Structure 1
Amino acid sequence: MNKGPLATPRLSASWRRSEYYGAPAEVVDPVFSGAVDEESLFFECGQQVLTGLHDSLTDEPVSLMLTDQDGHVLSRLCGDSTLVDALDRTYLAPGFAFSEREVGTNGLGLALADRTPALVRGDEHYCTGLRGYTCAAAPVLDPVSRQLLGSVNLTTWSQRSEGLLVALAQSAAGQTSALMLARGQGLALRPTPRGEVFRVYSAPSDDDPPVLSGRWHAALAEVEAALADGRPVGVVGEPGVGKAVLLAWALRRRYPHDRILTTRPPDPRDAESWLALWAPELGKDHTSVVAGRVDGLPSWAAAELAGMVAAGSARPFTVTARDAAAIPEPLARLLATVVELPPLRHRPDDVLPLAEHLARRSRGRPVRFTPAAVRALRVYHWPDNVEQLRRVVREAAGRSDLVDTRHLPPEVLCGPAHQLTRIEALERDEIARCLAEPGMTVTRAARILGMSRATIYRKIAHYDIPVPGRGPA
């Protein structure tokens, strides 16, 4: 193994991963993709933030870079021609990939792998070809979903003091997320999970699952087959689609008297205490574990968890992630089966059974849905999947035992959202609410809202507002 001064366990773990990946030890030879998405909100906001920071560092030999989640350099700003020429010789330039897999331990690769700020100085780089630089980087997370989007990287000469490089990178990453939120229709920020990061279900449960479609049961059967053979299994799919629930149901059927412990990834700063908190449960009889959203784990934590599972787990280990490629490699190597659960929009036959099930749980008694409400629920595209259906049904069932369209929020009564201004969103919601009233016609709604028939029809088309069972009077 290429030796160097490994000051921290985090750097040591990164060097071990670099060796496993077969990263070059002497000459930098990254992959060139050439493709840079300059139309994304992430690129637009990140470039604006870095341009402002660059303007304040005009006299400093510092290069500012934006990368995607795979380490591809999207943009580079640097006013020092000597540093630019040197970076070009090492291919640290737009279009080239600088993940750990490509070039070994480096600042941006480590920040992306561990989802937390990183500083890699001179000879801490795995590849000797990068030891002339000091690199500080911070990950950029989507302000709503908390999905990893990329990183902000600051690179300077290794003999210079790193000073405030990490603080500047972290500030720029935070400003990029904040700017994305401000331009994203004012969506509420989803807090990073901290503190309690697991849930425990005791079995058996009296809450029988609803009768769902063949696509759901095909996924359930595949998971159950893996559990019956004692094989670790993963379920992947979009956020909120019900991956952990699917695994919990399969585990209950296989091990009806087990506790089922489900985890969620913590803030990367809390990962060590998070592992210490629950990982001892892996070796206990009558305890099944669902490690949820493992694609959100720092690389070192995923490797540590994989080692604990390999050392001995009383039950088949199960995980969830957004897709198979996102499962950290140490955990992916343990899995014998990965099952994909389709999004709710591809399972329209599941919407009503799930809605009735969720409403009964919320209300404490059966709740019915009118034909108009059923149609509205079935045709809606459910971008946040079952989690969104749960929120909608809980609110509607809290208002009536018979849910009609007037009990549903405007988001469900409208089609896929355009990029609307706040005024347009208010107008859309008001039209949708008016049309949801019992016996309402388009002509009457236009009169109530002070619009002409032509105007309201045009706005209904513009906002994709369905009008089930209604027509002009």
Structure 2
Amino acid sequence: MPRHQPGSSLTAARELYQEITKDPSARPLVVASWQRSIEYQVKSSCIDAPYLENPNLDSPLAKAALPILNALHEQLADDPVSTMVTDRNGVVLSRMVSHQALTTRLNRVQLAPGHVFAERYVGTNGIGTALASGRPVMIAGSQHYVEALRDFYCAAVPILHPTRRTLLGAFNLTTARQGSAGMLMALARSVAGQIESEIAAISSRRERALFQDYMDACSSVRPGPVLAINRDVVMMNEQLRSAVTGTDHYALLDHAREIADDLRFEGTRSIALPSGRIAELRVSRSRREDSDAGTIFRVRVIGRPQSGPVASAGSTRSGLGLVGSSPRWLSAVAETEAAFVAGSWLHLVGEAGAGKGTLIEALHRAKGAGRRLERVEAPLSESTHATEQWLRNVRELLAEPSNVVVLRDVHLLAAHLRQQLRSLLTHLDTTATGQLIMTSQPSMVTTDDVLDRLCVASVEVPPLRHRYGDIEHLVRFFLLKYRPSGESSCSPDALTMLQRCPWPENVRQLESVIRGLARRQSVRILRVEDLPPECRVSSHKVLTTIEALERDAILRGLMDRSSNVQRTAQDLGISRATMYRKMRRYGIVPSSLT
């Protein structure tokens, strides 16, 4: 394939794409990848791979891959070849290379641990294209979309779960020396196969260990309801299945998954269920052979279900206009209101779309007493001039005692800017400044966060999936908002499905769905068949763009063919077994489609 002079515009990328499509040596997989890169509007003139601090090295993929990569690194000593393993989102978890010159070149193009090499950010490249296509791929030289990568030759192979065949990540070999593509790909396939075999062995040991501890808990003198869970398996006995049903069942599982993800926690935790009951969870870890096999929950359910939605009469917070009556939501509102009224510096933590901004605006309207609300976003540029201007703006706004200054998404601030902001805030006299409110996402905040310690109060706004009882109130609220005539309602089956939806974008996503349905004048009563594909799944996994498109295509195919799996699989060009695997992967429930 011919080399081209650097060009920074999308037009130049389109011209290169036209040449690639005419090149007889270009494979369809590469052509399709370039098309996606253009659709993502990736800049071919510069590399811009996002950086994620502290990538997860505790996953089964990382634990299985790192020893194999260490052994391979010794075999390839001093060869100009780099070995890498990434997660399913393209985050480089580990990179090993002993050739100093190659190390320097890889660092220059950000091909290093923590950087994200998905196609949507970097365009066509070995890692991103293998993950997007789900197939082994060799990207040679000028087949790379971004110019800075065109001196490299990359062989990447997807790593799949050995039993579920879901995508876990990719193994990648990168070299700057043109050689035998066949040998490079053969080595990459071999190593990816070794990693998958080791994952199978680890999973088998973990599941056997968890099952043994689960059986011990169930066979104790007074077993009661028992739940066992890890990343791959959920086990529950009949006592738990009978004691916790309906929306309480989904709420319990959601809380259990989040508790299980905190590997350091053992002890007792109480959670409020949508029915108004309390579930007391006694948490213990299944640890065998120095490995965490999963989590055992001994469950005690306290109280009786309340008739109807919990506190339905108070679905709108008095005086604030906030919808919701779940205990965690009301607690977050009350704590935030107390800090706001007291003028205390406050840190609001919550997932995107959970309602942090709405809560602040409601409190300002009701309790602001003439104070001015000033919102400050993270700076768009990390240049010295931009950051200095941003800090100066924050200082000037806080110098006015009547201001309420909201620093939004502080987790997006670069490390050096966080340090400068901390220094600025530390030296301010909080008794003579405006009120500071910072917002961030919980997965981005650590227990030793220096900015969090500067605030008098820290409040976590619960995600929508933990507010089951509020979904009905929110649906009615948004229907009335976008259909003021009040002529729309939601059928019980549709409401049940909306309550089971994981809502990864929280209230913002629910509002978007209801707004779209309300604009369809033909819809008076929202039924299951009216709901978009995103509401017809029960899986809480975060999907890439490509996976979401695949999920929606399967859903639409099933709906168009009356849930006939075989016909849908044939029309999509996949086997029925593959179809069922993908349905399980995306949490598609056939009974919900008819």
Moved more, 349-358 or 274-283: 274-283
Select which of 61, 72, 77 maps to 1:39.
61
Where does 1:94-133 land on structure 2 (aligned, <5 Å)?
Answer: none
Work out the CA distance in 1 between the residues paired with 2:473 and 2:479. 10
Any idea what the Cα deviations from partners look like across 1:369-392, whole Å, max 9, x if unmatched? Answer: 222321111111112222222222
Matched, 1:233 2:359: no
| Alignment partners' CA distance in 2, 1:395 and 1:236 | 29
Contact 2:78 2:98 in 1 (8 A): no
Confirm whether residue 168 of structure 1 aligns to residue 284 of structure 2. no
Which residue does the alignment assign to 1:391?
512
Q: Is contact 1:233–1:318 with CA below 8 Å preserved after alignment?
A: yes
Q: Are 1:294 and 1:328, in contact at CA under 8 Å, matched by a contact in 2?
A: no
Of 376, 390, 409, the residue aligned with 1:274 is 390
Shift of 1:240: 2.3
Equivalent in the alignment of 1:340:
460
Q: Deviations over 1:17-50 (max 9, x none)?
A: xxxxxxxxxxxxxxxx99665726xx99xx9xxx
Q: Alpha-carbon deviation of 1:336?
A: 1.6
**Partner Cα distance (1:183, 1:246) in 2:** 42
1:58–1:79: 8 Å Cα contact kept in structure 2? yes
Q: Is the 8 A contact 2:329 2:461 kept in 1?
A: yes
Q: Which moved more, 1:455-464 or 1:258-267?
A: 455-464
After TM superposition, list the pairs within 5 Å mapping 1:55-204 onto structure 2: 58=80, 74-79=94-99, 167-169=108-110, 173=115, 175=117, 178=122, 182=129
Residues 303, 470 of structure 1: alpha-carbon distance in 2 compared, 3 angstrom cutoff:
closer
Compared with structure 1, are the counterparts of its residues 223 and 174 closer, same or farther at alpha carbon in structure 2 (3 Å cutoff)? closer
- Corresponding residue for residue 317 of structure 1: 436
Tell me if 1:370 matches 2:491.
yes
Q: 1: distance between equivalents of 2:475 and 2:468?
A: 11
Counterpart-to-counterpart distance in 2, 1:233 and 1:447: 55
Which position in structure 1 is the counterpart of 2:337?
Answer: 224
Instruction: Structure 2 unaligned segments of length 5 or more: list them.
Output: 1-54, 134-318
Determine the structure 1 residue equivalent to 2:477: 357
SS of match in other structure, 1:266:
coil
Shift of 1:209: 2.5
Change (3 A) 1:423 1:395: closer
User: C-alpha distance in 1, partners of 2:77/2:536?
Assistant: 47
Provide the residue aligned with 2:271 in structure 1.
Answer: none
Distance 2:351 2:478 in 1: 20
Query: What does 1:430-441 align with in structure 2 at a 5 Å threshold?
Result: 430-431=556-557, 433-434=559-560
Question: How many residues are aligned here?
Answer: 318
Partner SS, residue 169 of structure 1: coil
Post-superposition CA distance 1:203-255 (Å, at most 9, x none): xxx99322432211101111122233332111212222222322333343331
Which of 524, 527, 532 is the equivalent residue of 1:404? 527
Check the 8 A contact 1:272/1:301 in 2, yes or no: no
* 246 and 171 in structure 1: CA distance in 2 versus 1, 3 angstrom threshold: same
- Report the CA distance between 1:459 and its aligned residue: 8.5
AA partner of residue 274 (structure 1): W
Q: Measure, in 2, the Cα distance between the counterparts of 1:263 and 1:231.
A: 18
Q: What is the CA–CA distance in structure 2 between the aligned matches of 1:392 and 1:264, rounded to whole Å?
A: 27
Counterpart CA distance in 2 for 1:170 and 1:446 is 42
Q: CA deviation at 1:348?
A: 0.9
TM-score, length-scaled by structure 1: 0.53
Q: How does 1:220-299 map to 2 (within 5 A)?
A: 220-267=333-380, 268-269=382-383, 270-277=386-393, 279-299=395-415
Q: Is the 8 A contact 1:460 1:466 kept in 2?
A: no
Distance (Å, rounded) in 2 between the aligned partners of 1:291 and 1:258 = 16
For 2:404 and 2:373, how far apart are their aligned partners in 1? 5
Offset at 1:321?
Answer: 1.6
CA positional deviation for 1:361? 3.8
- After superposition, the CA RMSD in angstroms is 5.0
Change (3 A) 1:292 1:432: farther
* Deviation of 1:288 (Å): 1.4
Equivalence map 1:435-450=2 (5 Å): none
Cα deviations by residue, 1:340-390 (Å, 9 ceiling, x for unpaired):
222211111122222333344445554432223211111111122222222
| Deviation of the 1:408 alpha carbon | 1.8
Q: 1:425 aligns with which of 530, 537, 551?
A: 551
CA contact (8 A) 1:67 1:75 kept: no
Task: Indicate yes or no: 2:500 matched with 1:379.
Answer: yes
| TM-score using structure 2 length | 0.43
> What letter corresponds to residue 551 of structure 2 in structure 1?
A
Q: Give the deviation of 1:181 after TM superposition.
A: 5.7
2:191 is matched with none
Q: Is the 8 A contact 2:97 2:103 kept in 1?
A: no
Q: Distance in 1 between matches of 2:588 and 2:107?
A: 48
Q: How many Å separate the matches in 1 of 2:455 and 2:528?
A: 44
Contact 2:356 2:461 in 1 (8 A): yes
Name the stretch that deviates more: 383-392 or 165-174: 165-174
